[in-house]
Amino acid sequence: MPFSPPTCLVLCLIFSVQQAHAQGAAAIKQGQRLWQQRCTDCHALDTDETGPRHRGVFGRRAGSIKGYDYSRALKRSQVTWDARSLDRWLTDPEQFIPGQNMDFKVSNAAERAALIAYLQSLSAPGVGKPFTQPVQTPRAAPGRQRQ
């Protein structure tokens, strides 16, 4: 029995939503894997280490965790972390906020998107828009230093 056009539209929308949810879950899982591989030398989720804690970073103002010794540049930056600012930060922290202390870069846009999806999943529901498309930025050489 053929489906009517409205029924086909509804089925297509349901399929699209399910597919987007599955892609989002896969990005979060990939981001978690990348975070564990690349970020845990300096960061933890719930405690400040060499770098500040990452849980709840979405919607947080840069340099705002009380008691953490941020660079003067980061404290004065007026940046609030969201998908776009995190993408710029991970692409090249020094270019984004000159004078900051982190020298770790993620040159691959898909990997940045996955890391950002994971970090967003650790924030309060509804904080920030889903990060589905990486911002096009120039490639940067990898490096590492404290934030």
pLDDT value of residue 29: 95
pLDDT value of residue 123: 85
User: Phi-psi region for residue 53, left (φ > 0), alpha (ψ -120 to 50) or beta?
Assistant: beta
Instruction: Give Cα separations from 85 to 78, 81, 111, 125 (angstroms).
Output: 11, 6, 15, 19
pTM summary value? 0.71
Gap between the Cα atoms of 22 and 51, Å rounded: 31
Classified by CATH at the fold level, domain 5-121 comes out as: Cytochrome Bc1 Complex; Chain D, domain 2 (1.10.760)
**What would the pLDDT profile of 38-94 be if each residue is shown by its tens digit?**
999 999 999 999 999 999 999 999 999 999 999 999 999 999 999 999 999 999 999
Q: Is 104 in contact with 144 (CB distance < 8 Å)?
A: yes
Gap between the Cα atoms of 91 and 112, Å rounded: 8
Residue 54 contacts by C-beta under 8 Å, 6 or more apart in sequence?
35, 39, 43, 44, 45, 119, 122
pLDDT value of residue 100: 97
